[in-house]
Structure 1
Amino acid sequence: MTALAILDLGYGNTRSIALAFERLGADPRLTDDPAVAAGAGRLVLPGVGAAGTAMQRLRETGLDETLATRTRPTLGICLGMQLLFERSEEDGGIDLLGILPGEVRALAPKPGFPVPHMGWSRIEAATDGTGVDAGDYVYFAHGYVCPDGTATSATSMYGDATVPAAIRLGHLWAAQFHPERSSSPGANFLKAFLRS
């Protein structure tokens, strides 16, 4: 069994995420094989780019079914977090994995707060056990925002918009921010996931 697998779908930031885990002593395996993903002790769904392209790739490989039926620790990062929900407004509306309820919506630009949201933002509130704390600064790069719900474990603000920065629900973990680019708070988040 692979202890830690990172889904490599031919897009995104897989190598930088792998390096972040390697710095913590883990030995991640990049894969697009559903059998490897299903058997992994921990699985990471990274993402940078468009939801439609990512969903097409997940469906082509059968990884959409693997993700929907997993019960072991699974982490979605950035677009990977958004893909866990039912639907996205992106490209006129896209069906996602449907593991969590709700629709991912476009961030609305405001004066002084352009979209996409790119840069460091403060964690406003966080639950225990996720490795991030209120007051930590983490790095974001996104134009869409997930719904805020009972699974939200950390929040940030962008203008007057509440941004669910992290999710923790059972075996599911997710970060809208990029832990691999978020210095010590990001490393602490990944450590907490590895301990789960």
Structure 2
Amino acid sequence: MIPVKKVAVVDYGVGNLRSVVRGLEQAGAATLITGDPEEILAADGIVLPGVGAFHEGMEQLGPLCRTIQEASATTPLLGICLGMQMLMETSEEHGLHQGLGLVPGEVRRFPAVPGMKVPHMGWNTLHLTGDDHPLFASLAEQEYVYFVHSYYVTTGPENTLTTTTYITDFASSVGRGNVYGVQFHPEKSGPAGLRILNNFIGLL
């Protein structure tokens, strides 16, 4: 019998954790909502969710920043929405702020374009940027997923797993070593999102 993987969902007071937990449990993981460094370090996988402003997220994460940085050296980590943005080096949201620095790159605001609303909200497609990556195994090209964000990530092609077009082309998912991030909400993206969560668990 294959042991159930234990996923720590980082609780730092930002975002609706329950919907993420439900998605992970549907995908077959045992989940633990926690802000305890020891529990995070002991998990098979880590999910960093989040909604809201970048600087507030980093402030709320506080001492757990070091825990996340340490754990990600050996434990697969998935950042979701704001959690993905916080993986980057910097963000220009409400001034220049430092991120976790786990993926080279920065977070920028969508430029103002007549007729285009910000935030980018709703369903949009993923473009796979290279060879099949295990995080996106069994997904079709141009799969639809659900977005809600006003800022986007820019990083190098070596860290970009998928791109999406809204006002500009942007990295809608990233990967570097054990660290992965998705700008969209897999827990709100139907069967495609569930497959991505299942694939993440398969990486543990």
> For this structure pair, what is the TM-score category when the shorter chain's length is used for normalisation?
over 0.9
Using CA pairs under 8 Å that are at least 6 residues apart, name the structure with larger relative contact order, 1 or 2: 2
What is the match of residue 69 of structure 2? Answer: 68
* C-alpha RMSD of matched pairs (Å): 1.4
Deviation at 1:97, TM superposition (A): 0.9
The secondary structure found in structure 2 opposite 1:12 is coil
CA distance in 1, matches of 2:121, 2:155: 20
Q: How does 1:18-97 map to 2 (within 5 A)?
A: 18-59=21-62, 62-70=63-71, 71-97=74-100
Q: How does 1:171-190 map to 2 (within 5 A)?
A: 171-190=178-197
Would you say the 8 A contact 2:27–2:195 is kept in 1? no
CA deviations on 1:81-110 (whole Å, 9 max, x unpaired) are 000111100111111111122221111132
What is the match of residue 106 of structure 2? Answer: 103
CA distance in 1, matches of 2:114, 2:95: 25
Deviation at 1:126, TM superposition (A): 4.2
Q: Compared with structure 1, are the counterparts of its residues 133 and 13 closer, same or farther at alpha carbon in structure 2 (3 Å cutoff)?
A: farther
Q: 1:158 aligns with which of 151, 156, 166?
A: 166
TM-score by length of 2: 0.89
- Bigger Cα displacement from structure 2, 83-92 vs 98-107: 98-107
Deviation at 1:172, TM superposition (A): 0.9
Deviation at 1:77, TM superposition (A): 0.2
Give the gaps of 5 or more residues in structure 2.
none
After TM superposition, what 4+ stretches of structure 1 lie above 3 angstroms from structure 2? none
TM-score by length of 1: 0.93
- Percentage identity across aligned positions? 40
What is the match of residue 115 of structure 2? Answer: 112
Aligned residues: 192
The secondary structure found in structure 1 opposite 2:124 is strand
CA deviations on 1:57-80 (whole Å, 9 max, x unpaired) are 111xx2100111222100000000
Give the gaps of 5 or more residues in structure 1.
none
The secondary structure found in structure 1 opposite 2:154 is coil
CA deviations on 1:37-68 (whole Å, 9 max, x unpaired) are 11111000001001111111111xx2100111
Would you say the 8 A contact 1:8–1:32 is kept in 2? yes
CA distance in 1, matches of 2:61, 2:82: 13
